[in-house]
Amino acid sequence: MRLRFLSSWLLAACILTVACGAQVSVTTHHNDNARTGQNTQETILTPANVNSTQFGKVFTYRVDGNVYAQPLVLTNITIPGKGVHNVLYIATEHDSVYAWDADHNRGINSMPLWKVSFLNAAQNITVVPSDDISCSDLVPEVGITGTPVIDAASGTMYLVAKTRERGRYTQKLHALDVATGAEKFGGPVTIEASVAGSGAGSSNGMVRFDPFRQAQRPGLLLQNGAVYIGWASHCDIGPYHGWVMTYGAQSLQQTGVWLSTPNGDLGGVWAAGEGLPGDGLGNVYPTTGNGSFSAHGGGLDYGDSIVKLSLNSTGLALTDYFTPYDEGYLSSVDLDLGSGGAILPPDQPAGAAHQHLLLHAGKEGTVYLIDRDHMGGFGFTNNGQIIQSLNLAVGGMWAAPAWWNNRAYFGGSSDYMKMYTFDPYTGMLSSSPASVSPTFYGFPGPTPSVSANGNQDGIVWALQNDGYGNTSTVLHAYWAEDLSKELYNTQQNATRDDPGGAIKFSVPTIANGRVYVGTSTQVSVYGLLPR
């Protein structure tokens, strides 16, 4: 009995302190720069213990605004005067950033380790009310939308905050010390840019970045010492364009600017908040929405396209792209290619026909598998220039797929979640789903994430946000090898496990035996229940 008691106590202590196995930090949207959504170092949560008896909500943190940005986690951070903590970072639409203890909320941890606000009533710096921009997409206010990115090596968090300062609208890039919240590198810097062109809103042959119209939605990317940021608009209200900019991570100086439609309009980099994917070689792969397209005739407009941008000494250069052959039709009926985000599956072995892949699906629900080294440009009659396209395979995607163990998971709108298998020998996806979830997802559909211990114990996590603005979100967990087997959802014990009010495009974070879910008023933390 003593041994059993000691064993149970040690297990409880292990779960509480996250001392079992390697500790994992989540520093960017969807877990990695490739945006695969997989955490393959999860040793605590397994298909055997994620059920409503053993798993549920363990505590909640209240916050001051909607949490559209994905929660981020850093381990073993020394907070001045408060010791060493695993830290949970939360950014809100009220222009606040919180640092909380990631493991428990007892005692002094019931309060934030630190909190910063970018508002200052004395200086007439306020959040931007949704009524100002005549858009109900983000309500009641617009502040921090895109998921920040953390440089663990330098201890710096990068984010973009939108504010109204003395009646003028501004967007600023902030670099915060992860231990204190203090500004670093002389920040913040005001975001400004202009590109030569005759497009919508241009003046004197230049298109200028409009901090009022442009919405910073995609998650930020940190790659090779540069911070990448993308923009679309609020509620498709023009004039607007798709912008991608880069800044030096240490200098906060602008190093590159790319405009999707310099001689046209629209072409926003929406991605439903998904992070800009980067390949580690200085290339980034934004997707654009409906807008002017003239690249097939030698023009500079890239609406409804996936582009490859390369950062060099002179800035951001477009080096390749893919545009569906039916781009004109997609644009005419508002079926944006760029409604969701692309992911970069793991590199294939040397000698494979296509070693570097890109996977994407847009509003139409067609799945595109593309060779990143030869993206194919525009196909005038079909999409035969890419590796594979699965026509109308999934519901419209306002999300990104996830990838684990040669499986691709898609959370389409008005559809069941679907899993397709990837054959490394043929280099192609299965032509039909290998499994589907029992859950039918309405709009906008989920961005799934995967936790696993290497190639074992895979769990697919998803947030059902059908009732955003009215009802609670629902956290689901499925067996990653067969989506028809649901392991858990928060409605199985709604009184105990309710996450809070649903918001669009939110993504759970899974790390070190915890699942973090941001909602309209709080962050709910899930894990194994005390026994």
What integer is the mean pLDDT of 148-157? Answer: 98
Q: Is the pLDDT of residue 18 over 90?
A: no
Mean pLDDT of 209-215: 98
Rounded Cα distance between 385 and 35, Å, is: 24
Task: Say whether pLDDT at 1 is over 60.
Answer: no
Averaged pLDDT for residues 394-423: 98
- Across 195-217, b (16+ Cβ under 10 Å) vs e yields bebebbebeeeebebbbbbbbbb
pLDDT of residue 22: 65
How far apart are the C-alpha atoms of 237 and 251, rounded to whole Å? 33
Residue 160's alpha-carbon distances to 91, 139, 174, 175, 228, in angstroms, are 10, 18, 6, 9, 11
* pLDDT for position 531: 86
Q: Is the predicted pLDDT of residue 192 greater than 50, yes or no?
A: yes
Q: Which helix (H) or strand (E) holds 230?
A: strand 226-233
Summarize pLDDT for 229-278 with one digit per residue, the tens. Answer: 999 999 999 999 999 999 999 999 999 999 999 999 999 999 999 999 99
Closest CA to 323 of 354, 277, 350, 292: 292
∠105-111-115 over CA atoms, to 5°?
Answer: 125
For residue 413, pLDDT over 50 is answered with: yes
- Tokens linked to 243: 């912008």
Tell me the helix, strand and coil percentages in the chain, rounded to 5. Answer: 10, 40, 50
- Residue pair 4/370 in contact (Cβ under 8 Å)? The answer is no
For residues 312 and 266, the answer to whether their CB atoms sit within 8 Å is no
CB 95 within 8 A of CB 127: yes
Distances 372 to 186, 254, 488 between C-alpha atoms, Å: 37, 26, 37
At residue 241, φ and ψ (nearest 5 deg) are: -145, 175
pTM above 0.85, yes or no: yes
More confident residue, 350 or 491: 491
Q: Distance between CA atoms of 100 and 178, rounded to whole angstroms?
A: 11
List pLDDT tens digits, range 419-471: 999 999 999 999 999 999 999 999 999 999 999 999 999 999 999 999 999 99
The answer, yes or no, to whether residue 12 has pLDDT greater than 70, is: no
DSSP H stretches of helix in 310-415: 327-332
- Coil, strand or helix at 122: helix
Residue 39 makes CB contacts below 8 A (sequence gap 6+) with: 24, 26, 31, 449, 450, 451, 452, 510, 511
Query: Does pLDDT of 161 surpass 50?
Result: yes
| CB within 8 Å of 394: residues ≥ 6 apart | 361, 365, 367, 410, 412, 415, 418
The share of the chain scoring above pLDDT 90, in percent, equals: 95
Burial of 421 (0-12, 13-18, 19+ CB in 10 A): middle
Please choose, from the candidates 139, 146, 142, the residue with its C-alpha nearest in 3D space to the C-alpha of residue 174: 146
For position 16, what pLDDT does the model report? Answer: 45
Dihedral, 323, 328, 333, 335 alpha carbons, nearest 10: 0
Strands 377-378 and 315-323: parallel
For the chain, give the mean pLDDT.
Answer: 95
350's tokens: 């040397």
Q: CA-to-CA distance for 213 and 519, rounded, in angstroms?
A: 25
For residue 346, what is the DSSP state? P
Task: Quickly state the pLDDT bin for 8 (edges 50, 70, 90).
Answer: very low
Residue 14: pLDDT band with limits 50, 70, 90: very low
Other Cβ atoms less than 10 A from the Cβ of 238: the count is 14
Residue 77: the pLDDT is 98
DSSP for 81-106?
TTEEEEEEEEE-TTSEEEEEESS---
215 pLDDT above the threshold of 50 = yes
Radius of gyration of the chain (CA): 22
3-class DSSP assignment, residue 351: coil
Following DSSP, what letter does each residue of 234-288 receive, concatenated?
Answer: STT-SS-B-EEEEEETTT--EEEEEES-TTS-B----GGGPPPPB-SSSEE--B-
How much is the pLDDT for 3?
39
Report which DSSP code applies to 403: E
Query: Which has the closest alpha carbon to 214: 222, 490, 223, 195?
Result: 195
Q: What is the pLDDT of residues 64-89, one digit of tens each?
A: 999 999 999 999 999 999 999 999 99
